[in-house]
A and B are shown apart, each in its own frame.
Chain A
Amino acid sequence: MTGFAALLAHDLRLAVREGGALGTALGFYLVVVTMLPLSLGPDLNLLARIASGILWVALLLAALLSLPRVLETDHDDGSLEVIAMAPLPLELAIAAKSLAHWLSTGVPLTLMAPLLGLMLNLELAAYPPLVATMLCGTPAISFIGVIGAALTLRSRRGGLLVALLVLPLYIPTLIFGISAMEAAALGTGGFTASFMILGAISLASLVLAPLATAAAIRLQLS
């Protein structure tokens, strides 16, 4: 497992050193969420009602922005070939890279969401479930997203293509994330069920997505 730990530490260090990706994602999240109240007008009841949806959709889009970089630089400088040849199975290497993406993008975006909730007049009771559902759902966003990044490796400027490929796969995460949040905020019950399905989606993508990504990378390298 030293290879796994080395790759995880390497990617986290690069995320800090190369900067850019996280700043762009956080900035994009802030701008999108800020623009919505401006365009919808200062109707506090309306904003409170749509706040959870906006926070989730904007988070998905912000996370998408940073996805192509997960593999693109490694592919361009030849590192990906060396990673594919190492004793560590490529699937585990991809899991390490996806985990690094979650830690360096998913977690910071989740931590920023409550701040943006203030702007949308999010109900007080909704803050704990907001953070809980996002922490539980963002791993799926990173792990599934990396599949799209792998599939578009050799197409220049594949960013938009990644969005087209990956956004439909995010729909289950989005549905159960929001329904868990609303159930908790409105006290209508059903929180546990939605939350557990959300967790199941994340766990399944943790296991299955690296298999798909590794297969896509092998195809791209050959």
Chain B
Amino acid sequence: MALLIDSLLLRRGERTIIAGLTARAEPGEALLLTGPNGAGKTTLLRAIAGLLQPAAGSICLEPRPAGSQAADDAPRLAELCHLVGHLNAVRPALSVAENASFWAAYLGGPASGVLPALERFRLAELAAIEAAYLSAGQKRRLGLTRLLLAPRPVWLLDEPAVSLDAASRDLLADIANHHLAAGGILVAATHQPLGFAPARELRLGVRPVAADGAEAGP
């Protein structure tokens, strides 16, 4: 199963962010989106996650996910993705374990998987603490824990290493490589080396601020 992006055109209002992008994310190989600020890395990830409708072109999994004959029955691409963006989706009034348990239940993961996931991200000893008392890096790790709470074939990571210390970055690389080794798809927007391997880089360029983006990509 590979993620296929075909002549994609993304617009924000009148502004064209990405035009004529064709790319493939193969299973077991991380696709790293790089490029200057404003190149459209986050926009592309949000489009893959189904939060932004493409103005033209398509994003799909090939071959179609199993479980149905009719195209209508197939799960939406968004349901097969984890998106961890700039925001962690962590509620400060709830404890670390309560935050994780809610996402596990809501996303359809097993309740028995919560503690192992917290242990994997070295948050187990903080499980009973209110998330309001976590540091930025710890909150980030709690946000990333979602990746392990419910199985999803596609991981979309937006600057995942922000505010992580060196040990946590290694931990994230280890977990991501584990996902890749199991045949998962991973697309990450990043400005720094993440240590994901194997990886392929897709460089996005800044488009001129024109009202109409007629010509193709970078």
Binding site for B on A (CB under 8 A): 2-3, 5-7, 10, 13-14, 17-18, 73, 76-79, 81-88, 221-222
Contact B146 A85 (CB under 8 A): no
Q: Which residues of B contact A (CB under 8 A)?
A: 46, 49-53, 75, 78-79, 81, 83, 85-91, 93-94, 98, 102-103, 105-108, 143, 146
Which B residues lie within 8 Å of A13 (CB)?
94, 98
Bound-complex Cα distance A76 to B94 (A): 16
Please indicate the chain B residues that have their CB under 8 angstroms from the CB of A81 in the complex.
Answer: 49, 51, 83, 85, 87, 89
- Whether A6 pairs with B105 at a CB distance below 8 angstroms is yes
Q: Which of A14, A84, A87 is the one whose CB lies under 8 Å from B75?
A: A87
A78 and B106 contacting across the interface, CB-CB below 8 Å: no
Could you tell me the distance between the alpha carbons of A48 and B60 in the complex, rounded to whole angstroms?
65
Contact of A78 among B79, B87, B102, B107 (CB under 8 A): B87
B residues near A7, Cβ cutoff 8 Å: 106
Contact A85 B85 (CB under 8 A): no
B53 near A222 with CB under 8 A, answer yes
CA distance A140 to B89 in the complex (A): 29
Given A82-B146, A86-B79, A86-B106, A18:B85 Cβ within 8 A:
no
Q: Could you list some 9 contacts between A and B, CB below 8 A?
A: A10-B106, A17-B93, A77-B88, A78-B143, A81-B89, A82-B146, A85-B49, A88-B106, A221-B51
How many A-B contacts at CB < 8 Å in the complex? 73
**A153 CB to nearest chain B CB (Å):** 14
A83 cross-chain contacts in B, Cβ below 8 A: 106
Closest to A222 in B: B52
| Complex Cα spacing A180 to B46, Å | 49
Say yes or no: A2 contacts B105, CB within 8 Å: yes
Inter-chain contact A14/B83, CB cutoff 8 Å:
no
Residues of A contacting B102 in the complex (Cβ-Cβ under 8 angstroms): 6, 10
Distance between Cα atoms of A128 and B50 in the complex (Å):
49
Task: List, in ascending order, chain B residues with CB within 8 A of A78's CB.
Answer: 85-89, 143
Tell me whether B108 and A17 are in contact (CB under 8 A). Answer: no
Task: Tell which of B89, B103, B105 touches A77, judged by Cβ atoms closer than 8 Å.
Answer: B89
CA distance A3 to B46 in the complex (A): 23
Chain A residues within 8 Å of B87, by CB = 76-78, 81
User: Nearest A residue to B88 by beta-carbon distance?
Assistant: A78
B85 neighbours in A (Cβ, 8 Å): 78, 81
For the complex formed, measure the closest distance between the CB of A78 and the CB atoms of chain B, giving whole angstroms: 3
Tell me, rounded to whole Å, the shortest Cβ–Cβ distance linking B43 to chain A: 10
Give chain A nearest CB distance to B9 CB in angstroms. 14
Contact A77 B90 (CB under 8 A): yes
A65 to B60, CA, bound (A): 43
Are the C-beta atoms of B108 and A3 separated by less than 8 Å? Answer: yes
A2: B residues at CB distance < 8 A: 105, 108
Contacts of B143 in A (CB 8 A): 78
Q: Which residue of A lies closest to B105 (CB)?
A: A6
B167 to A: closest C-beta gap in Å: 25
A190 to chain B, nearest CB (A): 45
What distance in Å separates the Cβ of A47 from its nearest Cβ neighbour in chain B?
40
- Residues of chain A within 8 A of B52, CB atoms compared: 221-222
Residue numbers in B under 8 Å from A14 (CB-CB): 91, 93-94
B14 to chain A, nearest CB (A): 15
Q: How far is the CA of A78 from the CA of B49 in the complex (A)?
A: 14
Question: Which residues on B sit within 8 Å (CB–CB) of A86?
Answer: 79, 106-108
Nearest CB on B from A55, distance (A): 32
Residues of B contacting A3 in the complex (Cβ-Cβ under 8 angstroms): 105-108
When A2-B105, A6-B105, A78-B86 are in contact, do A85 and B51 touch as well, CB less than 8 Å?
yes
* Bound CA span A222–B81, Å: 17
Assuming the contacts A3-B105, A6-B106, A222-B52, asked whether A79 and B78 have C-beta atoms less than 8 A apart, the reply is: no
- Please give me the residue from chain B that is nearest to A87 by CB atom: B79
Interface centre among A13, A18, A85 (most CB of B within 10 A): A85
